[in-house]
Structure 1
Amino acid sequence: MNTLTMAMPKGRIFKEAVLLLRKAGYNLPDQFEDSRKLIIDVPNEKLRFILAKPMDVPTYVEHGVADVGVAGKDVLLEEKRDVHEVLDLKISACHMAVAGLPGYQRGELNPKVATKYPNLASQYFKEQGEQVEIIKLNGSIELAPIMNLAKRIVDIVSTGQTLKDNGLVELERMESITSRFIVNAASYRIKSGEIKTMINCLKVALGEDA
């Protein structure tokens, strides 16, 4: 049996994915999700985990460094990597939204929009028939309207508490987001048995037909 290398995003998605893998029958060590290592081997399950930043997971899978991975739909839409998206894991549910200060009104010429997701945001406003100037930020997107860098932001929203805490409101809901199971194209052929077994085990854990 071949060892499967799995790329996982650090943080909340990783912890939820570990719970799902355990439910799917994979015997992962106690405190596994609390490890600070970036590469974790689980020899008894023939698994190797690579812990990466969420935006990097599809890149590792696309280039074959990892056979499979878990990535948010937001990342897949933004990065547009050449990977197979095979299963909705239904974890880390949130949604993509446009937000800004209360009372925002359209009308400004080429308004600025701040976001971590420039490709996704550009595509959305293009579909809405609105010309905007996209400003890419890497963190604390909520600062942009407060400091008048941009009137609106595009970001993922879970509970909405962060927006509320910073005096912002959701203006438009764009798309529902969950984490997906992705596969490298070559690995799908070379390690098809191991990958199909994992997919079927995950489907059972999700209450779907294997």
Structure 2
Amino acid sequence: MQKKLRLGLPKGSLQESTFQLFKRAGFNISVRSRSYFPSIDDPEIEVVLMRAQEIPRYVNEGVLDAGLSGLDWILENEADVVEVANLAYSKQTNNPIRVVLAVSEYSDIQTVKDLEGKRIATELVRLTRNYLKKNGVTASVEFSYGATEVKVPHLVDAIVDLTETGSSLRANKLKVIDTLLESTTRLHANKQAWDDPFKKEKLQNLAVLLLGALRADSKVGLKMNLPKDKLDDILTILPAMKHPTVSQLINSDWLALETILDEKQVRDLIPSLRRAGAQDIIEYPLNKVIP
């Protein structure tokens, strides 16, 4: 019987960005409507879709060999797992998710100390209670089943919630008074799977490809031709990950140059390269960057 790695992937808001990341890493995942068992074009991986909040618990208990979920949910589940890779991506951006303490913008509450005897709503109950304990504050912490932002100030005094851009908090007239945690998605495994040579190698290979896809996400390749006597001028304005590759064109006084750089630099850089003597400039996307 063929060995397989049973991998939990997040269903819901993070699902689409996770599938896109896997595609850039070389894995095609397809899922039928309402199915929790997508197909993946790797016979050695079995994918299970479930809520990100639950994945660390099932990994910790050995139901899953490994999974992708945020550090916030790993800590909330108090999961004793092996971190394989820190994958800095989220629903909308590649920035960390923040776990924040927020109150009404009209509230007199200024710090966590002002929450003594107050009521807090959150999905992250354990994380919040540990935070209050660390700060020597006694408050009522209740589980929120959703729409947490709208509960302040009429139902609770404060919330602990996840935010990526802060737009939902601002829309509900809330202000952040503290950040409990910055969280990114983690590829994590249970210890039994990590001790299995096949599963460990599979996870390490997966981590290399996923991290390579993330590195490539904000970078592009740039190729160009240039006269030999313009090389120094172009090198002075050309950023690169390391050193650009320069090769001689056959039977010519021209060179070919290739480099990798941040996509956001290209818009302003190409006109400067053109003025410096570069020609035949080609910009191309990248799938993976493996250092």
Shorter-chain TM band: 0.7 to 0.9
Partner of residue 165, structure 2: 159
1:137 aligns with 2:137: no
The residue correspondences of 1:32-111 to structure 2 (distance < 5 A) are: 32=30, 35-42=33-40, 44-92=42-90, 93-106=96-109, 107=114, 109-111=116-118
Comparing 103-112 with 122-131, which one deviates more in the overlay? 103-112
Gaps of 5+ in 2: 91-95, 216-288
Deviation for aligned residue 1:175: 1.7
The size of the alignment, in residue pairs, is 206
Q: Which has the higher Rg, Structure 1 or Structure 2?
A: 2
Aligned equivalent of 1:194, options 194, 202, 216: 202
Deviation for aligned residue 1:88: 0.8
Deviation for aligned residue 1:50: 0.6
RCO higher in structure (CA 8 A, sep ≥6) = 1
Matched-pair contact (CA < 8 Å) for 1:94–1:178:
yes
Deviation for aligned residue 1:174: 2.2
Partner of residue 114, structure 1: 121
> If the length of structure 2 is used for normalisation, what is the TM-score?
0.65
Partner of residue 274, structure 2: none
Partner of residue 262, structure 2: none
3-state SS of the aligned residue for 2:14? helix
CA separation of 1:135 and 1:125: change in aligned 2, threshold 3 A: same
3-state SS of the aligned residue for 1:103? coil
Letter in 2 for 1:196: Q
Comparing 182-191 with 98-107, which one deviates more in the overlay? 98-107
Gaps of 5+ in 1: none
Matched-pair contact (CA < 8 Å) for 2:115–2:137:
no
3-state SS of the aligned residue for 2:62? coil
Matched-pair contact (CA < 8 Å) for 1:13–1:179:
no
Partner of residue 17, structure 1: 18
Aligned equivalent of 1:171, options 177, 180, 184: 177
Comparing 101-110 with 15-24, which one deviates more in the overlay? 101-110
Letter in 1 for 2:48: I
Q: CA RMSD in A?
A: 2.2
CA separation of 1:182 and 1:44: change in aligned 2, threshold 3 A: closer
